[in-house]
Structure 1
Amino acid sequence: MTTSHADSRTPALAREAVLYTLPLYEMARMRAATCPRRRREGAFADARPDGTLRWVNQFFHTRQLLGPQHRQVVTPNNDTLYSNAWLDLSQGPLLLEVPDSARRYYVLGLLDFYTNPFAYIGSRTTGTQAGRFLLHGPCWQGEAPAGATAIACPTDAVWLLGRLLVDGPDDLPAVHALQDRIRLTLPDGGDPVRAYDVGMQPNEHLGASPQQVRRYAEVVNRALRENPPPAAEAATVQAFAALGLGAACEGVPLDDAQVALLSAALEQVLAELARPMPSALGGGWSLPVEIGASFGTRYAERAQVARNYIGALGMEEAMYIIADCDAHGRSLDGNAPHELLFPAGQLPQVGAFWSLTMYDKGDCMLVENPIGRYSLGDRSPSLRYEPDGSLRLHLGAVAPRDAARHGNWLPAPAGPFYVALRLYVPGEAHLGKTFSYPSIQPAEA
């Protein structure tokens, strides 16, 4: 870029540009990390071990419930299997077929390349019966095939991230069968899978060094060209060209002044995003992230979610409530027994299910334990309710002395821990933040 726009190069603009574009970088990085290199039939998209070709328009299904041995993501759930597909709609629409899930809860969330969760297919929105959906990009014009519902996608690059409920290990074969019947095809029934250059390596990380800043601009500029912003935001993005960011800036090296401004902005923004501001709900509980159907112009919030919770569902589909301290504000530690009492009639209010999952605070992973129990919830066959209908859960590294309470024991590490209360299809009391979450209390050994 020339220096004629030097007067418009300001730290404030650089910060705004980073907040706006950071989700694009994070989505590109996530695509490189999770888009499959091999087809199910075994063929590699790229013969080079360090190549960046990947297969798009193909599902990749996890087949096991996550446990302590799975360490790819932090605070993993132990309730669902994931079904993941990266879509490229630039060559035309795709037809998605889903089977009848026999009333089993599932959701296929659709995220545009700016991380907006713009649509859901599944139990809450489209039902559990079989269905056909035509997914198309913003520039496509045409008619959906007979019997298919058209879903307009804001960008040509889309991340489809699904979750299917599993009721324990014995239920896995049934869920595998459902996963295998979720199909992507071309509208004429042809094979949609093709090799696509994701342009990144899975191990690339965001940083503020000059080299990382230049790499950031390369990734973001390509993403802006392939996935233009909404028309209402075009003027905002056009202003970033003074900093070397924009579709028209692709292939144009940053000058030293641009590198300096973007480096300072990245350092500032990354420090800000490392300090999440959860919403306090009382009793030591907090809501780390609130996601709606679209972030709109809330670019700082969008960047926060992209950096720390990318792929999280919107609140109407799921809420994730966290507690890491007891009723007195003391950090939870598995060496001291604790209990959580849901009074009669005051259990979580959900349209699908709820679960409480235990995590080691040191690494944010599930906790290895002798009974292989990582979560408890409304589907847990071991739960025993009190005579008055209340539910008392026991949290600690050592099992309760009373053997009758073992079914309500959620094993903790012998050290600091936190728990996550997941609410799938939460009720109005949760969405409106009027639900009274019970405090975690010290308990007798």
Structure 2
Amino acid sequence: MNRRELFLALAAAGIAPQALAQAAPGAADPTATARDLWLYGLPLIEMATTRARHLKGGGGINRLQHTRQLADDRFRTVTTPNNDTLYSFAWLDLSQGPVTLTVPPLDRYWSVALMDMYTNNNAVLGTRTVGPQGGTFTIVGPGQAGGGPETIRAATPHAWLLVRLLTDGGDDLPVTHALQDRFKLTGPAGATTPVYAPREAQPADYFASMLKLLEADPPPAVDRRMLARLRTIKLDSSETAAGVQQARMIAQMAKGRQGYVQGWSYTRPNLGDYDQDYLYRAIIALLGLGALPVAEAMYMRAEGDSGGLFKGDDLYRLSLPAQMPLDAFWSLSMYEVVEDGQQFFTANPLNRYSIGDRTKGLKRNADGSIDLWIGRSDPGGERSANWLPAPRSGPYSMTMRTYLPRAELLDGRWRLPAVAKA
């Protein structure tokens, strides 16, 4: 891509060259520029990659797809999946007009997140915001007419609709499937989506795809100063290559740069609605794409031996009180951590990928509290009922999910107990 093509692409994305001239820094470090812009574009790239994977699986634009089984160790579509809800999803193209979503009455936890292509949650329908009665909702894009309490608006012409529906698995799956089938999405068929470069692509291809995505889904005006730096980038330079390498290292090492309180990292208040926190947005796009905002769910990662990773063969215990401050449910998930930092369920003899307040057969103490046992080997005896198996080898991590957290969990007055060696 030459300089003229770059300016044309920026203009098509709504970033006028004269605005660039006014906003671009006078003497920007080219390595830092490439680093920051690579991280800025990562959510767009990850969303486009996930969309392509989903559509290749047989779905269509503006059409709901349903997962019919809980995620297990074979699931590699989205990092840090949960094992508590079935997903339904649709990739929306609102450029041809609105779509209509019908949600049936539901007697269990549910949520429908509408995410723009920058991974912000523009709206979350669900138990917390709508209640059990469901309803019919009109989803509109930028600049489209809409009104009334049943209208929700996406910030970009393309968006991701992600439904979570609680299930106990087993005999509850057919019931859950019937509820999924009662969700309806209607609207224009939508255009065919182009192919975009993945995050592993060479810098020139990555930034070319980023520009196309900016054109398809223009950024908010508050990002103008950041994107003005595109004016100075030289795609084939050694400085750009060095900046991209730095960005990749930052993204991959993010798991070790979290702060911990009593052995757990807590999500920031702006999770799922990032504003101009481009670095945090990029990290979540890589490590937890599709994360809900904290009012809907809080995700806490155990500190482990270091940097959120457990590496040895020790047995660990997590002791939890009989009641935790939340209005839905909690679940502790076990993940193997692969080379690029993404996290997936691991094969184990119990086929148990998470453990939570709905897990059948758990042994509670006399006061209702519960001790969870975590490790590579079966702890034996009565402890086996409360065992969360770790991978046979390699590093692993654990994430606690608390759905519909109460104020004392949201504001930090209540903290999880630390995971301790047994």
Whether the 8 Å CA contact 1:36–1:60 is kept in 2: the answer is no
Higher RCO (CA-CA < 8 Å; seq separation 6+): 2
Distance 2:286 2:350 in 1: 34
- 2:173 corresponds in structure 1 to 172
Q: For 2:258, which of 270, 278, 286 is the aligned residue?
A: 278
Normalised by the size of structure 1, how large is the TM-score? 0.79
Change (3 A) 1:414 1:195: same
Distance 1:343 1:139 in 2: 49
For residue 324 of structure 1, report the CA deviation from its aligned partner.
5.2
- 2:326 corresponds in structure 1 to 350
Q: For 1:221, which of 208, 211, 218 is the aligned residue?
A: 211
1:359 aligns with 2:335: yes
Change (3 A) 1:336 1:198: same
Change (3 A) 1:267 1:396: closer
1:125 aligns with 2:129: yes
For residue 377 of structure 1, report the CA deviation from its aligned partner.
1.1
SS in 1 for 2:286: helix
Alpha-carbon deviations, 1:319-376, whole Å to 9, x = none? Answer: 221225279x99464x4433221245xx432221101122345684334333332222
- Cα RMSD (Å): 2.9
1:111 aligns with 2:112: no
Change (3 A) 1:130 1:408: same
2:247 is matched by which residue type in structure 1? V
For residue 432 of structure 1, report the CA deviation from its aligned partner.
1.7
Change (3 A) 1:225 1:372: closer
- 1:44 corresponds in structure 2 to none
- 1:251 corresponds in structure 2 to none
Distance 2:252 2:305 in 1: 24
- 2:316 corresponds in structure 1 to 338
| Larger Rg, first or second structure (1 or 2) | 1
For residue 61 of structure 1, report the CA deviation from its aligned partner.
1.0
Change (3 A) 1:269 1:174: same
1:259 is matched by which residue type in structure 2? D
1:263 aligns with 2:235: no
Whether the 8 Å CA contact 2:70–2:84 is kept in 1: the answer is yes
Whether the 8 Å CA contact 1:394–1:408 is kept in 2: the answer is yes
Unpaired segments ≥5 residues, structure 1: 40-54, 187-191, 244-256
Normalised by the size of structure 2, how large is the TM-score? 0.83
- 1:25 corresponds in structure 2 to 45
Change (3 A) 1:91 1:194: closer
Q: Matches of residues 130-149 of structure 1 in structure 2 within 5 Å?
A: 130-143=134-147, 149=150
1:406 is matched by which residue type in structure 2? S
Stretch deviating more after TM superposition (108-117 or 355-364):
355-364
- 2:161 corresponds in structure 1 to 160
2:158 is matched by which residue type in structure 1? A
Q: Matches of residues 34-49 of structure 1 in structure 2 within 5 Å?
A: 34-36=54-56, 38-39=58-59
- 2:406 corresponds in structure 1 to 427
Whether the 8 Å CA contact 2:204–2:235 is kept in 1: the answer is no
Distance 1:393 1:32 in 2: 39
Distance 2:79 2:271 in 1: 22
For residue 134 of structure 1, report the CA deviation from its aligned partner.
0.8
SS in 2 for 1:395: strand
Stretch deviating more after TM superposition (168-177 or 216-225):
216-225
Alpha-carbon deviations, 1:122-149, whole Å to 9, x = none? Answer: 11122221211111111112556xxx71
